[in-house]
Structure 1
Amino acid sequence: MTVKSKATKTAEKSAGADKLDILIAGAGYVGLASAVAVKHARPNLRVAVVDAAPADAWQKDNRASAIAAAACRMLEQLDVWHRVAPQAQAITEMIITDSRTADPVRPVFLTFDGEVGEGEPFAHMIANRDLNGALRPRAAELGIDIIQGVGVQGFETDGGGITVQLADGASLRSRLLVAADGVRSRLRDLAGIKTVHWDYGQSGIVCTVAHERPHNGRAVEHFLPSGPFAILPLKGNRSSLVWAERTEEAERLVNGDEMIFEAELERRFGLELGEIRVENKPRAWPLGLTLSRSFVAPRVALAGDAAHGIHPIAGQGLNLGFRDVAALAEVIVEADRLGQDIGALDVLERYQQWRRFDTVQMGVTTDVLTRLFSNDSTPLRFARDFGLGLVERLPRLKDFFIRQAAGLSPHTPKLLRGEPI
Structure 2
Amino acid sequence: MFDVVIVGGGLTGLAVAAGIGAAGGRALVVEQEPVRRLVEPGFDGRVTAVALGSKRQLDRYGVWPLVGEAQPILNIVVGEKGSPAKVRYDHKDVGTEPFGWIVENRLLRKALLARLDELPEVEILGASRIEELDRAPERVTVKIRGGRTETTKLLLVTEGRYSQTRAQLGIDVQDWNYRQRAFVCTLAHEKPHEGLAVERFFPDGPFAMLPMTGNRSSIVWALEERLAEEVGRLDDGMFLAEVAERFGDALGQLELVGSRFAYPLRMVMAERATDRRVALVGDALRGIHPIAGQGWNLALRDVEAVVDLVSERLRAGLDPGDAATLEAYASRRRFDGLSMVAVTDGINRLFGNDIFPIKLARETGLAVVERIRPLKRLFMRHAMGTLMGN
Using the size of structure 1 for normalisation, the TM-score is 0.89
SS in 2 for 1:250: helix
Aligned partners of 2:78, 2:98: CA distance in 1, in Å?
A: 18
Per the TM alignment, residue 287 of structure 1 is displaced from its structure 2 partner at its CA by: 1.0
* 8 A Cα contact 1:116 1:122, kept in partner: no
Cα 1:116–1:336 shift into 2, 3 Å = farther
1:243 and 2:221 correspond: yes
Per the TM alignment, residue 108 of structure 1 is displaced from its structure 2 partner at its CA by: 4.8
**Structure 2 counterpart of 1:97, from 79, 91, 95:** 79
Task: Give the equivalent residue in structure 2 for 1:63.
Answer: 46
Per the TM alignment, residue 254 of structure 1 is displaced from its structure 2 partner at its CA by: 2.4
Task: Give the equivalent residue in structure 1 for 2:116.
Answer: 139
**Structure 2 counterpart of 1:110, from 87, 106, 117:** 87
Per the TM alignment, residue 115 of structure 1 is displaced from its structure 2 partner at its CA by: 4.7
* 8 A Cα contact 2:85 2:367, kept in partner: no
Task: Give the equivalent residue in structure 1 for 2:293.
Answer: 315
* CA displacement, residues 295-346 of structure 1 (integer Å, 9 cap, x when unaligned): 1111111111111110111110010011011111001111122222111122
Gaps spanning 5+ residues in structure 1: where? Answer: 1-18
**Structure 1 counterpart of 2:279, from 270, 292, 301:** 301
Aligned partners of 1:261, 1:387: CA distance in 2, in Å?
A: 32
1:82 and 2:72 correspond: no
**Structure 2 counterpart of 1:52, from 23, 32, 42:** 32
Aligned partners of 2:293, 2:272: CA distance in 1, in Å?
A: 24
1:217 and 2:187 correspond: no
Per the TM alignment, residue 169 of structure 1 is displaced from its structure 2 partner at its CA by: 3.3
* CA displacement, residues 363-415 of structure 1 (integer Å, 9 cap, x when unaligned): 001111000001222221111110010010100001111111111224x5xxx
* 8 A Cα contact 2:94 2:381, kept in partner: no
**Structure 1 counterpart of 2:342, from 364, 370, 373:** 364
Aligned partners of 2:375, 2:263: CA distance in 1, in Å?
A: 33
* 8 A Cα contact 1:209 1:239, kept in partner: yes
Task: Give the equivalent residue in structure 2 for 1:350.
Answer: 328
Task: Give the equivalent residue in structure 1 for 2:371.
Answer: 393
Aligned partners of 2:264, 2:206: CA distance in 1, in Å?
A: 14
Cα 1:219–1:162 shift into 2, 3 Å = same
Task: Give the equivalent residue in structure 2 for 1:199.
Answer: 177
1:40 and 2:17 correspond: no
Using the size of structure 2 for normalisation, the TM-score is 0.96
Aligned partners of 1:116, 1:58: CA distance in 2, in Å?
A: 38
Aligned partners of 1:303, 1:177: CA distance in 2, in Å?
A: 10
* CA displacement, residues 212-251 of structure 1 (integer Å, 9 cap, x when unaligned): 1000000000111111100000000000111010112213
Task: Give the equivalent residue in structure 1 for 2:101.
Answer: 124
Aligned partners of 2:229, 2:56: CA distance in 1, in Å?
A: 38
Task: Give the equivalent residue in structure 1 for 2:313.
Answer: 335
1:185 and 2:144 correspond: no
Cα 1:56–1:107 shift into 2, 3 Å = farther
* CA displacement, residues 142-198 of structure 1 (integer Å, 9 cap, x when unaligned): 121111001122311001200112233322211111111111011111121111121
Aligned partners of 1:330, 1:87: CA distance in 2, in Å?
A: 28
Aligned partners of 1:117, 1:97: CA distance in 2, in Å?
A: 21
- Aligned length, in residue pairs: 386
Gaps spanning 5+ residues in structure 2: where? Answer: none
Aligned partners of 2:13, 2:163: CA distance in 1, in Å?
A: 13
Aligned partners of 1:298, 1:315: CA distance in 2, in Å?
A: 32
* 8 A Cα contact 2:85 2:366, kept in partner: no
Aligned partners of 1:242, 1:310: CA distance in 2, in Å?
A: 15
SS in 1 for 2:33: coil
